[in-house]
Structure 1
Amino acid sequence: MLKTAYGDVAAQSNTVDSTYAKVTWRLVPFLFLCYVFAYLDRVNVGFAKLQMLADLKFSETIYGLGAGIFFIGYFIFEVPSNIALHRFGARKWIARIMLSWGLLSGAMIFVKTPTTFYILRFFLGVAEAGFFPGIILYLTYWFPSSRRAKITAMFMTGIPIAGVVGGPLSGWILNQFNGVSGMPGWQWLFLIEAIPSIIGGIVVLLYLDDGIRSAKWLNEEEKVVLEKGLTSESGHIEVHSASGAFTNSRVWVLCACYFGIIMGLYGIGFWLPTLIKASGVTDAFDVGLLTMIPYGAAAVAMVMLGRSSDKSKERRWHVAIPAILGAAGLVASTLVPHDVTLAVVSLTFATIGILGALCQFWSIPPAFLGGAAAATGIALINSVGNLAGFVSPYLVGWIKDVTHSTDMGLYCVAISLIAAAAIVLTMPKRVVNR
């Protein structure tokens, strides 16, 4: 009898694990690919900058403002977009987001003046608003909190992989297409890298399902397993209503924490090619190859952190320690400005820390937000935090114009990361460690 009971438990456990593995392989690689396209279209302006500023006679301040104004549009439309996704379904809404941002990213070839640069970057932010928090919300429809840190980390490796793939690709496009058909390389960069997003948006309509019940690739037993997994954690959810997300103090604490982390993310995202070039690398393709190192190391570290976080059920220090490492790496990079090897090593530690903190952060909000509150709260945190995407590149660009150095700007970014580490540690363990 005991053997039979043990066998039943083992069989049930195998069914659960195989079901989640099936869902993971069905959803995560595709969502990861979509995020690669999204992040590439968001930050390829950092590579375009290597030619664009000289061609258009833009200052570093103009570039910083244009790079950052994306996040103003993103901020304004983030919460409405996520609520729309929750109401109308992920499949149609994510497809709409990808198609519109792909078309606008391609339209960057028409930039001639600072005004057109600002306008297109703003509307690119409007178009992409809701994509990232929408995917984070979408993952809560399938995975319980006990499995979510690793899954989120796997999805978010799209950021470093966009760097691994996008760096050499962007450098190659700038070199090989410069002057083809009378167009400079930076215009070809925007045009070519917009195509995957447009194709991806069409594929989303054919491939994604809105939730467990609409997934024809799952049998009834597998659907029940997934639904039980989500039901089992519902008792931990403290906030369910959309209005509750706005009035919950913990949501605003996380907004402040995320702001500090995003300061670091776009300090790296928009300035990494410039920092590597400043260390003595002049060829655009070589700059692209060297950006693979920090991003490749970060991709591995993110998955390892996710596994560690899920295994230990510890969330706060898995955000705080990487954030501090990211700050240390940024500061170290300013101490070796003309040594390519040491600059890449320090920027690698910075990238590992920043992206590690970023992916682990998103295991925290769904631990106490559910339903409409999750849709609203996740979008609110992401939109407020991403205002740092406006502040960070503009601040570093302005400081560089004034001081002719990025050092002071990077120090400001490092301080923001340390503040984020301190803020996340104020969250109660009983709330977030699940």
Structure 2
Amino acid sequence: MSADDLSLATQNAVFRRIAWRLMPFLFACLVFNWLDRVAISFAHLQFRQDLGITDTVFGLSVGLFSAGYLLCEIPSNLVLERFGARRSLARIMILWGIVTISMAFVQGPYSLYLTRTLLGMAEAGFFPGVILYLTYWFPDAYRARITSRFIMAIAVCGIVGGPVSTWIMTHLAGVWGWHGWQWLFVVDGLPPVLAGLLAYRWLSDRPADAHWLSPEDRATVQQTLGQALGPAQDQRGVVLKSTLRDALANRTLWLLSLSYCMTIMCTGNVVNFWVPSILRASGVRDLQTLGNLSALPHVIGIGAMLLACRSSDRKGERRWHFAAGGGLAVLGMLLLPWSLHHAALTMVFLTLMVCGYLIATAIFWSIPATLLPVGERAVGLAVINCAGQIGSILTPVMIGFLKSRLGGFEAALTTVSVLVALGVLVLLRCTAPSSARRSFFFLPDAKS
């Protein structure tokens, strides 16, 4: 074995050890995070009768979550960079768990608006904060696979979220005089509170603080990351921060933000909030069957995402892998309106859409850290996610409005698919392999 092969084997062993330490916990935290989003889509099927919630009111409540998220997103990411992941992630999870539990006590549209806004404020910074946190531990050549392990929680939530949510709503309805949807919020709110308490003890802010790594392993991580980061760090490994103005003046950041808003968040809103209603429109009436069917596209989506991310890291290529995912999502959404009265076809096209969504999401989040200067990453990742929340404000309101006015999903899904396609084109333009961008975007090959 050559010295280079030995060095690569050592690096792989160290980063594998880090992944086993961090990723299962972060994976579980994202499952808890996305269960909130699955919960509201299933709870809506019951509380719209109990509380008189129309599709327009529901869409607005989903959008208000994003408004609260948008308000606190950049400050939350800056706090994480300043005070560390342990404190920040613990605070975020404990607060969102408490607010989720409080949603069991909403009485009508206005209390729903209030709790959804507070939930967005509480969750702000979690997802981009973890993406930023992972850049402290893993170099570019590993990032698509590592990101896919984190993003996989969204798919797992899609698999277990539907059946578990409908089971809770069916079997706990009437206990202590509460509705099934009330129990759903209580059960979903407890795990993040416990995870937040654990985060402070389990996570380390930086590799230099990781006492569970040997001094040799810490040196390997810092050396590998130092080679990847280059002059953006000083010799002590301290990040040289850019100003907020520098970050916001970066044209690439705004193009990435626009693409994320149009591609990932528009598709994500359909996947995370409207799939139960789409299945019901296709003729599925039984609540438990609906929950089980909603899980199937995510099972296939996990395999598709892992294969795509493995291919992306091996080939050191991002843009066309992202485009392939976005294209699948567009195709699925364009075909869905013509299959809404056929449950089997609806499942096929939902599966295409979910596969494309998961692939595009995982590949996308491996791109910004490669294109943005190190000192701008905290602000940049938050700005990108903020743009996504703007999409989350507008998309559910638009879908709810078009569905209420026109009596179906046809116009809504067609409109969203056009936006997704435009978002793919924006990213392809942003990451075009010109001589100035090629050195940033195409990554070195990493053997597994």
TM above 0.5, yes or no, is yes
1:263 corresponds in structure 2 to 266
2:346 corresponds in structure 1 to 343
Q: Which whole-Å CA distance do the structure 2 matches of 1:242 and 1:374 have between them?
A: 11
2:228 corresponds in structure 1 to 233
1:433 corresponds in structure 2 to 442
Q: Which amino acid aligns with 2:408?
A: S
Q: Which amino acid aligns with 1:241?
A: S
1:261-293 deviations in whole A, cap 9, x for unaligned? 211111111000111111111111111100111
Q: Which amino acid aligns with 1:249?
A: R
Contact 1:237 1:369 in 2 (8 A): no
Contact 1:316 1:433 in 2 (8 A): no
Unaligned runs of 5+ in 2: 234-239, 444-448
2:391 aligned with 1:391, yes or no? no
Task: Output aligned runs, 1:314-325, within 5 Å.
Answer: 314-325=317-328
Q: Which whole-Å CA distance do the structure 1 matches of 2:404 and 2:372 have between them?
A: 43
Q: Which whole-Å CA distance do the structure 2 matches of 1:342 and 1:310 have between them?
A: 33
Q: Which amino acid aligns with 2:330?
A: A
Q: Select which of 408, 411, 418 maps to 1:408.
A: 411
- Could you say what secondary structure the match of 2:309 adopts? helix
Distance 1:7 1:327, change over 3 A: closer
Contact 2:369 2:377 in 1 (8 A): yes
1:15 corresponds in structure 2 to 10
- Residue 432 of structure 1 deviates from its aligned partner by 2.2
RMSD of Structure 2 on Structure 1 (CA): 1.5
Contact 1:240 1:370 in 2 (8 A): no
- Residue 236 of structure 1 deviates from its aligned partner by 8.4
Q: Which whole-Å CA distance do the structure 1 matches of 2:243 and 2:166 have between them?
A: 44
Q: Which whole-Å CA distance do the structure 1 matches of 2:55 and 2:232 have between them?
A: 46
Task: Output aligned runs, 1:62-73, within 5 Å.
Answer: 62-73=57-68
Distance 1:221 1:174, change over 3 A: same
Q: Which whole-Å CA distance do the structure 1 matches of 2:286 and 2:231 have between them?
A: 53
Contact 2:403 2:409 in 1 (8 A): yes
Distance 1:367 1:139, change over 3 A: same
Task: Output aligned runs, 1:212-251, within 5 Å.
Answer: 212-235=207-230, 241-243=242-244, 244-251=246-253
Q: Which amino acid aligns with 2:129?
A: G
Between 82-91 and 385-394, report the one with greater CA deviation. Answer: 385-394
2:24 aligned with 1:29, yes or no? yes
Between 10-19 and 261-270, report the one with greater CA deviation. Answer: 10-19
2:361 aligned with 1:366, yes or no? no
- Could you say what secondary structure the match of 2:366 adopts? coil
Aligned residues: 429
Unaligned runs of 5+ in 1: 1-5
Q: Which amino acid aligns with 2:301?
A: A
Task: Output aligned runs, 1:9-408, within 5 Å.
Answer: 9-235=4-230, 241-243=242-244, 244-261=246-263, 262-408=265-411
Contact 2:103 2:112 in 1 (8 A): yes
- Residue 237 of structure 1 deviates from its aligned partner by 6.5
Distance 1:43 1:372, change over 3 A: farther
Q: Which whole-Å CA distance do the structure 1 matches of 2:4 and 2:324 have between them?
A: 38
1:33-79 deviations in whole A, cap 9, x for unaligned? 10000011133100001101011111110011011210001111100
Contact 1:263 1:388 in 2 (8 A): yes
- Residue 12 of structure 1 deviates from its aligned partner by 2.5
1:112-168 deviations in whole A, cap 9, x for unaligned? 121110010001000000000000000000001111011001101111111111110
Q: Which whole-Å CA distance do the structure 1 matches of 2:135 and 2:243 have between them?
A: 16
Q: Which amino acid aligns with 1:432?
A: F
Contact 1:86 1:372 in 2 (8 A): no
Between 187-196 and 124-133, report the one with greater CA deviation. Answer: 187-196
1:369-403 deviations in whole A, cap 9, x for unaligned? 24441000000011112211111111111111101
Q: Which amino acid aligns with 1:254?
A: L
- Residue 240 of structure 1 deviates from its aligned partner by 5.2
Contact 2:229 2:374 in 1 (8 A): no
Q: Which whole-Å CA distance do the structure 1 matches of 2:2 and 2:417 have between them?
A: 53
Contact 1:320 1:420 in 2 (8 A): no
Q: Which whole-Å CA distance do the structure 2 matches of 1:273 and 1:423 have between them?
A: 30
Contact 1:167 1:291 in 2 (8 A): yes
Q: TM-score, normalised by structure 1?
A: 0.96
2:426 corresponds in structure 1 to 423
Q: Which whole-Å CA distance do the structure 1 matches of 2:369 and 2:209 have between them?
A: 23
Contact 2:38 2:162 in 1 (8 A): no
- Could you say what secondary structure the match of 1:426 adopts? helix
Q: Which whole-Å CA distance do the structure 1 matches of 2:350 and 2:5 have between them?
A: 46
1:187-215 deviations in whole A, cap 9, x for unaligned? 11111111111111111111011010111
Q: Which whole-Å CA distance do the structure 2 matches of 1:403 and 1:433 have between them?
A: 45
- Could you say what secondary structure the match of 1:57 adopts? coil
Q: Which amino acid aligns with 2:242?
A: S
The alignment-based identity, stated in percent, is 37
Q: Which amino acid aligns with 1:309?
A: S
- Could you say what secondary structure the match of 1:53 adopts? helix
Q: TM-score, normalised by structure 2?
A: 0.93
Distance 1:138 1:182, change over 3 A: same
